[in-house]
Chain A
Amino acid sequence: MATEHAADAPTAGEYIVHHLTHLNNVGAKQASIIDWSVVNYDTLFYSIGLGLLTVFILWLAARRATSGVPGRFQGSIEMLVEMVADQAKGIIHSAESRRFVAPLALTVFVWIFLMNAMDLLPVDLIPRGWQAATHNPHAYMRVVATADLSATLGMSICVLLLCIYYNIKIKGLGGWAHELFTAPFGAHPALWPVNFIMQIIEFLAKTISHGMRLFGNMYAGELVFMLIALMGGAWAVSTSGILLAIGHVVAGTAWAIFHILIILLQAFIFMMLTLVYIGQAHEGH
């Protein structure tokens, strides 16, 4: 029985690879690094679903918002709004820009927190449910949208576009072009190429690190949960299994508790960097 099970069960490597493969329109692991014809259905489902949940929760609070005595729910959302509004006020000095950027930061904070929080669900829970529902034991499903580089880079590129938009809006096309060629080293014509290359590198670095930071943290977190799950999964095929099960419980608990910090921190960092980068677009070098 046990040997049969062991033969059926995927190896550790297969288990991990299976868990890290997206449910997409191709039905298999994406072959090349970049392929614009592929769409990850699972990422879109969880990110859009949680995005709608985010705005629904916020909208509920907004609908009931009165200047009277707030309830607990109301108060907690208001605390969030105050926190984001304070940060935005400190970073972006244009009230006109804050009208859009501050709500955007609030949305992205709550949204990323919820997407990250999917990591706290047992790693096999939703994928197994999905496999049972589709009667396909090999169906793919990843539940943490922020552990998909496409999603995080999509958001950071969105922030980049907003930076470019505000650069042009605040400084004018000419003003921004002037800044691109004269900052950071100076206005001497010989320095123009260097300045321009530095500026491009700065934009690229900001955007990629912005998206990569969130992705890396969540991807690594997800991987650790899988490894912990693997350790518990080995219980069935090992003589010292009970120790592995205990190890699973202890390690899983510890990592989950630590991960609460990470998911909140990463959501906050993403929000703050969104504000900081857009704030930089408002200031000359």
Chain B
Amino acid sequence: MNLNATLIIQLIVFLILGWFTMQFVWPPIVKALDERAKKIADGLAAADKAKDDLARAEKRAVEELRKARESAAGVHATATTQANQLIDDARAEAAKIIAKAREDAKAEAGVAAEQAKQALRDQVAQLAVAGAEKILRREINPQVHAELLANLKQELQ
């Protein structure tokens, strides 16, 4: 238990070792620790955010799916309506065409009948004139009796 110059040297060594640690050991380790703490904090935050994002994306996917299903149903309904409409329209058109065709046919038939009647009338008038001519050969002068014949033809109509 003696004191000697070892004390002074030990004191100086202590200061030098402390200085060395302060200069070369402490800062990099503390820096690394702080950085790691920050990294971990960031990582945890990122994980939380990712979880949130995932939840939101899932929700959106469900929403989109629902919308898609709804719009598909809408399209189906519209298509059905349209198809029905088309069929109805086609039916109406067809009916119209048929009716018109019928009418045309009827009209055509009427005209033909009229013509036939007309022809028949002409022929009847001619036959009547021819018959009368044959009967009245001499007495009837076509030029004189043209008015008469025309009146007769008029009456037959």
Contacts and interface: CB of A to CB of B under 8 A. Distances in A.
B130 to A, nearest CB: 132
B116 interface: no
Contacts of A81: 26, 29-30, 33
Interface of B: 1-11, 13-15, 17-22, 24-33, 35-36, 38-39
A62 interface: yes
Interface centre among B7, B8, B38, B39 (most CB of A within 10 A): B7
A182 interface: no
B147 to A, nearest CB: 133
Interface in A188-229: 215, 219
Consensus secondary structure, chain A interface: helix
Consensus secondary structure, chain B interface: helix
A123 to B, nearest CB: 18
A35 interface: yes
Contacts of B15: 158
Contacts of A73: none
B88 to A, nearest CB: 75
Contacts of A151: 6-7, 10
Interface centre among A35, A82, A153, A158 (most CB of B within 10 A): A158
Interface in A124-143: none
A154 interface: yes
13 contacts: A30-B2, A33-B2, A33-B3, A48-B13, A61-B25, A61-B29, A99-B22, A102-B26, A107-B20, A111-B17, A149-B2, A150-B10, A154-B9
Nearest to A152: B10
A77 to B, nearest CB: 7
A3 interface: no
Given A67-B35, A154-B14, A35 B29 contact: no
Contact of A154 (B8, B36, B39): B8
A266 interface: no
A257 B25 CA distance: 31
Contacts of A102: 26
B6 to A, nearest CB: 4
A37 to B, nearest CB: 7
